[in-house]
Chains A and B, each alone.
Chain A
């Protein structure tokens, strides 16, 4: 069944051991939502469709190959060598079911009946087309927890929401950028992460509640609503004080309106596109900052004599600081200022985080596991340290349909002849 017996699923460790999840989730936001469950012991069975390969399997992040932007998919590439999928689907089992076939749908219902959590994030209407509504799933498993999509109701429920669209609609992009020009927004799908984390939390809350009451539930997490909840105090300035943010003075780039920190910015360091962030929140910190710089003459400028005055003269202040930072290494500045108790930090990229950051190395944030096609690969670990629990990293991401035989034959008891028929007819 498994060419390498080490890939055969065994007993799991962790607070979710014994919880089986029929996981229809796909794309980044869906895959991240169920990853944490798999990390902490749940038997997450990822259900895929051989004719509709999950996007992270196709995005061209390949080991030992040249760099391609993520839109540059390679037609016909091996779905088992996608690095992003591996990062998102570690510790999960993988099966394939063709939901357009009656036999496939029947098999999915058997899997759901044997699971206690069902997750999906398809466009609205897909699960309904397969008759997998909450009502139907509850007939299969009365205490089921059903985490379905992102936002079930309302006139825009069918709108396409992926990270950058959610960030735009929720206001998170608009509030990010320099005044008087277009927003800089986000260079990542921040809301794919945050919506996934809120969905993970919702599933854990529902599992805990079921432990206490025996009762299941349907879960509704809207990514846009989650994003609005992350806007911060500016939202209350609008609803309580009636502020209008549109105009030439908002947003404020790296500067703060509150507290009146100054400097509060990102400054050029020595080297190409090297930067260091510095934030000074009060007069005492300013004094330490000036001492750490060796008391340059410009720091005595009367415009920089108080926090309020520095805040009002940030253009001049930032220019002066940049002359000091641009001659120095970003880590040298970080150490010098941190030793003086001043908030400062180099802008780090992925190479810095993975290869030289001593704190992340000490904390063991990244880890490695082998993969049958990719080989040894790095993973982003769970950044939570527990005194009594730990993630159970037992296997890298599943090959397409790797666990079909184990799940369908051993867990669901499908007979040999029926299994062969399902395979021959393309139902799995």
Chain B
């Protein structure tokens, strides 16, 4: 539970001693809670009676009612291995129960803007008043202060204002920047939230005190466009989006190649280095598709650069005659940095992931289960992580966690 009470940690999961209360309802806070839960923390998801907003976002499990709060795959994805407690903290009694939960918790995950905190009659510091050990991690769109702190956002708007969107899209700039898939604005916020919680936990080992960890999605995204800021810091130029390859100051050659099976591979053709060039030519020769590239004139990088367009065309044909999977395996075996663009359905049967046992079977509520879920992304030789468990049904653990007393009218449901 609280600081210093480590119990029998050897062999047990990294967060086995941690108790977390999750009040956040967007993917940033929920992804942080999932990271903690996956690595062994006890995560109690506190929900209002209507259920977390994420329960009302599709898709739903096949065959379920659209409005079934227990059938949202969106909710399932972000809330594995947590427990659900319904607690109306908008009432005085519910707030008392919440504060009681927090008094024994290590981490509270919240996701409110300043005006939302005010509307709830709460402050991050207030949550810690009777819980000095508590770390309050607030993951909100713009953080807890500043001129934009109360602006509203979402993954798309966050990625736009924060900068990464400016680097993503197509060569054709009449097409707007395109948001990468998933909820990556929220996911980056969750990653920084996780690092913030970890640093606060380490600080607490030294000080005995928790603290407030204030994470704004906008701050996180503004430092997450890789080269865009350094290009501005140093040569003071902007990068421009290109199709499925790095945004750069000036246009570069395509890196996406179509394949015989109508899929794509990513391959950055770099002709400047001798070793990968020779690997590529010998690979093309092995399929009798090197054309003139084995000619000694191409040993000179300057000649290759001068004939880049010709080389690019031959590589396009070379890839168009093979399947994406074959290109990936053989290219990589020849030491070339080529990647197959897998679709999600390609992943569960991937030989490498299967050998590592990455996907794990979870006995969820959908028919035909158990189903495969992505497993823990971090492995330690010294300890195990617990088995994933399905996302909780709404209020499934209310009575077990709160030990409901029948007098609680406005609190536990």
Contact = CB atoms under 8 A, between A and B. Distances in A.
Contacts of A275: 160, 176-177
A233 interface: yes
A65 interface: yes
Interface stretch (A110-118, A164-172, A292-300): A164-172
A10 interface: no
B341 A187 contact: no
Contacts of B413: none
Interface residues on A, range: 35 or more
Interface stretch (B82-90, B189-197, B282-290, B310-318): B189-197
A178 B76 CA distance: 26
A338 B161 contact: no
B256 interface: yes
A349 B238 contact: yes
Given A160-B336, A204-B199, A187 B247 contact: yes
Interface stretch (A1-9, A46-54, A95-103, A191-199): A191-199
Contact of A389 (B161, B203, B231): B203
B62 A241 contact: yes
Nearest to A205: B14
B382 A217 contact: yes
Interface residues on B, range: 35 or more
Interface in B208-222: 209, 211-216, 218-220, 222
A266 B158 CA distance: 12
Contacts of A183: 244, 256, 264, 341
B224 A193 contact: yes
A353 B231 CA distance: 13
A237 B73 contact: yes
A156 interface: yes
A218 B378 CA distance: 11
Nearest to B328: A169
Interface in B259-309: 264-266, 268, 270, 272
Nearest to A65: B235
Contacts of B165: 266, 277, 347
Contacts of A351: 232, 238
Contacts of A258: 57-59, 74
A197 B76 CA distance: 24
A358 interface: yes
Interface string A238-267: 111111111000010110011100001111
A201 interface: yes
Interface string A218-230: 1111101110111
Contacts of A353: 162-163, 222, 229
A165 B266 contact: yes
B337 interface: yes
A71 B252 contact: yes
Nearest to B237: A67
Interface stretch (A124-132, A378-386, A404-412, A419-427): A378-386
A226 B38 CA distance: 13
A296 to B, nearest CB: 21
Given A164-B246, A184-B168, A384 B227 contact: no
Q: Which residue among A184, A204, A334, A354 has the maximum number of chain B CB atoms within 10 Å of its CB?
A: A184
Given A266-B177, A384-B196, A84 B380 contact: no
Contacts of B187: 194, 230
A160 B335 contact: yes
A114 to B, nearest CB: 21
B122 interface: no
A61 B355 contact: no
Contacts of B347: 170-171, 228, 235, 238
Interface string B247-263: 11110100110100000
B381 to A, nearest CB: 4
A106 interface: no
A311 B60 CA distance: 18
A174 interface: yes
B122 to A, nearest CB: 16
A342 interface: yes
Interface in A38-84: 40, 61-71, 73, 83-84
A201 B191 contact: yes
A185 B211 contact: no
A187 B180 CA distance: 9
Nearest to A19: B202
30 contacts: A15-B199, A63-B234, A67-B237, A154-B352, A168-B341, A173-B244, A174-B341, A175-B181, A176-B180, A182-B243, A190-B180, A198-B377, A201-B35, A204-B195, A205-B378, A208-B201, A209-B383, A220-B379, A225-B377, A228-B374, A233-B73, A236-B76, A266-B165, A278-B157, A362-B145, A362-B147, A379-B233, A382-B192, A383-B219, A386-B196
Given A194-B187, A350-B225, A358-B146, 18 more contacts: A15-B199, A16-B202, A165-B266, A175-B181, A175-B343, A216-B382, A220-B381, A222-B356, A224-B353, A238-B345, A347-B161, A350-B231, A353-B163, A357-B222, A377-B234, A384-B192, A387-B211, A387-B213
The 7 A-B pairs of least Cβ separation, nearest first, read A175-B181, A168-B339, A185-B244, A83-B234, A383-B219, A187-B167, A165-B339
